[in-house]
A and B are shown apart, each in its own frame.
Chain A
Amino acid sequence: MKIRKIIERIFFFLLVVWAASTITFFIPRISSRNPVRERFGQLARSGGFAPADLEIIIESFNQKFGLDLPLWEQYTNYVGSLARLDLGVSMFQFPKTVGELINESLPWTIGLLVTTTILSFIIGNLMGAIAAWPKAPRWLRNLAMPFVLFMGVPPVLLAIFLLFFIAFRLKFLPLGGAYSIGTVPNLSLEFALDVLKHQILPATAMIFGSVGGWVLSMRGMGITIQGEDYVLFAEHKGLSGFTIFKDYYLRNALLPQVTAFALALGNVVSSGIIIEQLFGLPGIGTLLHNAIKFNDFVVIYGVVLFITIAIAALMVFVELLYPLLDPRIQD
């Protein structure tokens, strides 16, 4: 029963991956634009080579990447290379592969965006749950207020504000970048602290931007749950306030939040792209942004496909996890 469900989910996941990859294959090919021509046209105009050579270059490029083959053959080649986890080679940063580029950017995105999304989820939901809990001390319940107020401020504005005052005027923290210019990435404590120092401002902007939302939705959930019969009966059993809070109240109020959390994780790249740009962090968002800027279509489609697959995998994970959190959900 259980095994069957897992297999079913994985099959569904593969279906999503196949559909996504097929769409990313066909979009550039059915569009009237020719990214290869545009890219080399750009280079030609900037004076790299004589316009006469353009056709020859495009021709040889097409040949090299199999773009002159019949469509179905291109497709099978494409699917074959995908199966080998080969997303192709960047046009702009040749000969780097898309896989390598993603590999280089991913740690920065996970380090900042994924971490802050998780932190925001934990902080926001805990605060929201406490804010709705009548037995919590007043000061603790009000702790969430500043976050709720900050909700109205777009994270970008907050980021600019932080940059201006804390980094530019007060010079407490670096203005941007992943680490200090001149240092070479290594595994020393010194380097780790340097990286951490560079992450503080963007992390603050990210967290302040999303904690408020969690607080509000969790507080709403909490108000509903605390009136449920099972919470009242738990009190009649003589359980301590902490046990009721943890096992009866929070546990149930969190259920819908888990789905929202998966969605938030899925949106990490799109919601963090501006922050990465603003702070000059070389994450997936920056990679995508640069690829769009330089019309590097192999990288664009590679990154989009990668994000799609990551989200699909996340959803499978959540779906398999959910029955463990809520036994009422089966099959």
Chain B
Amino acid sequence: MEPALKINNLQVSYYTDAGRARALDGVNLTLNPGEKLGLVGESGSGKSTMALAMMRMIKPPGRIEGGEVIIGDVNLTTLSEEDMLKARLSRIAYIPQGAMNSLNPVTRIGAQMVDAIKAHDTGMSKKEIIEKSMESLESVDLKREVFKMYPHELSGGMKQRVCIAIGILLEPQVIVADEPTSALDVITQRQVMETIDKVQDKLGAAIILIGHDMGLMAQFVDRVAVMYTGRLMEVSSVKDMFTRPKHPYAVDLIHSLPNLENKGVFKGIPGVAPALLRLPSGCSFHPRCSQAIEICQKDTPPYQEIEDNRFAACHLFQEKA
């Protein structure tokens, strides 16, 4: 099967007054059609940067400095600016976190769906565009009437659904959702997640779900990717990740989750994530790692397949023979 998404050695830096911050440092990832990947990691680890880099929406002082993002057979990184505009929404769609404010307050929902379709060469008539928009609203469990409403007339959950409906208008192969439910209450969170799940199944699109809620992740995604200081530390299936995580950072992360046995005890990860401007030598996690060995201080571990369909960047694991 041809992968829906291939990310090769993606590099992004932010050039701040204090120096160059490598926010994304050699990320590799392959996603099959219909696959759901959860992307987790501490705040500032580069999750949003990765989403924006895939959309080619990194703004100054940030810059994509290398690597490629390939969707189907199209390499987004080499597209012209104009072709990239067309690729947004039609090949890769982004569902924002701030659904509360992601819709233009002064125009109707319908207008904000119609202009999105019109910006792409779909060859649809005006009537077809409206019909398509309304169908899209229906597929995220909203009424067709929402088409004529203004954002302030909708609840937070409904606004997030509208954003999803916009995201799937042109049936993209890849959807990136950056904390799509973090501003919602738990009940609405679940409903919105179910909606994302449903429309994604229908489209057969691959999805990257960025989030902090491991519980919610565990239920909805197939694989989990753990990011630390702009690098992927481990990518494994949900089951593997939760039952036998490999990378020491992933182990700590999973064990810091509350469960009934360790109720009341918060087990965090010792130390704090280093500033991107002053990354430790070798593996960026080694100062906090309980299993660090000598080489960890010197060499950056390569990101490689350590078991069938499990990837990690850690010196403790040899490349699969």
Residues of A within 8 A of B (CB): 134, 228-230, 232-240, 243, 247-248, 251-252, 255, 325-328
Contacts and interface: CB of A to CB of B under 8 A. Distances in A.
4 closest A-B pairs by CB: A238-B88, A229-B98, A229-B101, A233-B102
B88 A237 contact: yes
B55 interface: yes
B90 interface: yes
A230 B86 contact: no
Interface string B33-72: 0000000000000000000000101001000000000000
B272 interface: no
Contacts, number: 75
15 contacts: A229-B100, A229-B101, A233-B96, A233-B163, A236-B96, A237-B88, A238-B116, A239-B85, A239-B115, A248-B104, A251-B104, A251-B107, A327-B150, A327-B152, A328-B152
A130 to B, nearest CB: 18
B106 A251 contact: yes
Contact of A236 (B57, B60, B105): B57
Contacts of A236: 55, 57, 88-89, 93-94, 96
Given A327-B150, A327-B152, A238 B119 contact: yes
Interface of B: 55, 57, 60, 85-90, 93-94, 96, 98, 100-107, 115-116, 119-120, 150, 152, 163, 166
A146 B55 CA distance: 38
A158 B209 CA distance: 60
Contacts of A327: 105-106, 150, 152
A173 to B, nearest CB: 43
Contacts of A228: 101
B106 A239 contact: no
Contact of B101 (A230, A235, A247, A255): A230
A326 B101 contact: no
Given A236-B89, A238-B90, A328-B152, A252 B116 contact: no
Given A229-B98, A233-B96, A238 B106 contact: no
Which of B60, B104, B119 has the largest count of A CB atoms less than 10 A from its CB? B104
Given A230-B103, A326-B105, 15 more contacts: A233-B94, A233-B96, A233-B102, A233-B103, A237-B119, A238-B87, A238-B88, A238-B89, A238-B116, A240-B85, A243-B115, A243-B119, A252-B105, A325-B106, A328-B106
